[in-house]
Structure 1
């Protein structure tokens, strides 16, 4: 675990190790006592795309562990605006810090960065490809709120074509026993065929375009991502395809998750229900990212 680029690079054992460590980090977080675990260490956040939760939770995680943070979230005020390549940016910034969190619109950018960095790289999203730390906090949410990850039924609703969180989480869930994946989307936004083929034989897969009967343990809702569509006319066709309402989930033994931000795909009335876990899910990002920072920095120093 020199870097964290894709969920396909790590196994079930690695996942469980991170989730176990996150439980310890949650205890530190809830104690409100300052920690010195990463005192003297510096995290660099390099964000070529907008972010609220991922960037702020990583910064919070590092500071909660006693470390410091540098970085940028606006490329217009950096040398990137002058034409500096990603490779050169990584080579320079890795001299200034102990670990880097990178978000970039191009698929494969994090993998490329890891080849030139002298410190660990954490992929905070590369286009519509992967978002492994979101996946790990999603798994942690499921474990904390349901009590298990094995033998669960998960319905993914919305943008399954461009939804990197859906792609990453599907691969991760396929490592666990007895998992069912229900993919619910308009035909234009179906889960990519290559991912379906990869998952076949490892999990039970069901595909549908209806949300009327959600007989599952987890409803994972995703925003239809306007920014990912090469043709805005195609976006207009599918915009607002689904909205999870109170009647879809009330009185059901399930939880509703969402990587956020939400636009109109979950009615605000759902927020009042005990099934709604998306804001708790956002909180869980802090202990999970605390665990990831600690593990990767320690592993790097041992190498």
Structure 2
């Protein structure tokens, strides 16, 4: 069966995830066995916004599999700067590539791109919506360093409202038994209601916590994210809160000896650099393990061993999407389509905001 696209990691089954994690581990342990598996294949990386880890991780992954890479890391250096639509870019690039990775600042862009590509598309982040291969990185990392994906006490800290990595992680880890979540943020940056609804429906217990000190001693995993100053109403409001969500050696003294500290990176000042040498600081290991996860993913997609893209039933809807960050506001040719989410709500097909 031909492979589809990876737009949302939750379109995969848990069995698919476990198989990808197992393959990533084998690639890590036996890299020479995979050096030529993608010879003759071409990866296109189309990055409409800045990236270091995700872009280079994908590029390194394909090169280590024996393939080649093309693409751009700035739309100014492509025909996008001349007004070319996403639709036409995908139609052109998919003539040259066997698989395409897209990062875009607008939500729903990856799904829109997949409609016009003639080869598989991987979502490398679409605005504040989803970042599925970061979640795959997180699953590979937790499986490697914790030896399990069940029965974990997971704290997510920082920008939980706009942090796409947090949303994807919560959705994924809610599918494993016995996980408990601590949602650590300011009220202004608390996790969206739809994420809480996912946790509720999965029967996952969670607590909203105002300060890292309040729960760090309970955690098996601490997933730090950057607090974005631009999300606060005033600089004073940001300054009043920022120190509460900085991980320092003093706060770490209260943590368990086997705590795993993760971060999708880049960091700014939310983790004191003095912690980098602590064996519990695993964010740089996490970045390396993500490369093996992406190698496994591309290998499976190119060899048609895994079917990923779940086609949702949808219907045309005349109303404009209410989400100002949705791709439909700039790519005007896209049909206004509505589908159902897991809870039966009408949502935009692209950005998944409620209609």
TM-score tier, shorter chain, comes to: over 0.9
Distance in 2 separating the partners of 1:153 and 1:257: 13
Q: Residue 218 of structure 1 is aligned with which of 218, 221, 240?
A: 221
Moved more, 3-12 or 114-123: 3-12
> Per the alignment, in what secondary structure is the counterpart of residue 30 of structure 2?
helix
Count the aligned residue pairs: 298
The answer (yes or no) to whether the contact 1:249–1:275 under 8 Å persists in 2 is: no
How far the C-alpha of 1:11 sits from its partner, in A, is 1.9
How far the C-alpha of 1:45 sits from its partner, in A, is 0.1
1:80 to 1:300, Cα distance in 2 relative to 1, 3 A = farther
The answer (yes or no) to whether the contact 1:123–1:131 under 8 Å persists in 2 is: yes
Gaps of 5+ in 1: none
> Per the alignment, in what secondary structure is the counterpart of residue 167 of structure 2?
helix
The answer (yes or no) to whether the contact 1:119–1:300 under 8 Å persists in 2 is: no
1:78 to 1:300, Cα distance in 2 relative to 1, 3 A = farther
Q: Residue 262 of structure 1 is aligned with which of 252, 264, 267?
A: 267
> Per the alignment, in what secondary structure is the counterpart of residue 115 of structure 2?
helix
How far the C-alpha of 1:172 sits from its partner, in A, is 0.4
Higher normalized helix content (fraction of residues): 1
Distance in 2 separating the partners of 1:166 and 1:211: 16
Aligned twin of 2:10: 8
Greater C-alpha Rg = 2
TM-score (norm 1): 0.93
- Residue 273 of structure 2 is aligned to residue 245 of structure 1: no
Gaps of 5+ in 2: 309-355
Distance in 1 separating the partners of 2:106 and 2:261: 30
The answer (yes or no) to whether the contact 1:153–1:182 under 8 Å persists in 2 is: yes
Equivalence map 1:1-303=2 (5 Å): 2-29=4-31, 35-202=35-202, 203-212=204-213, 213-214=215-216, 215-225=218-228, 229=231, 233=233, 237-238=237-238, 240-241=242-243, 242-250=245-253, 252=256, 253-299=258-304
How far the C-alpha of 1:34 sits from its partner, in A, is 7.1
Distance in 2 separating the partners of 1:36 and 1:44: 18
The answer (yes or no) to whether the contact 2:229–2:238 under 8 Å persists in 1 is: no
The answer (yes or no) to whether the contact 1:2–1:300 under 8 Å persists in 2 is: no
How far the C-alpha of 1:27 sits from its partner, in A, is 2.0
Q: What is the RMSD of the two structures over their aligned residues, measured on CA atoms?
A: 2.0
How far the C-alpha of 1:174 sits from its partner, in A, is 0.8
1:21 to 1:273, Cα distance in 2 relative to 1, 3 A = same
- Measured against aligned partners, the alpha-carbon deviations of 1:29-83 in whole angstroms (never above 9, x if no partner) come to 3x5x771100000000000010000000100000000000000001111110011
How far the C-alpha of 1:237 sits from its partner, in A, is 2.8
Distance in 2 separating the partners of 1:271 and 1:52: 19
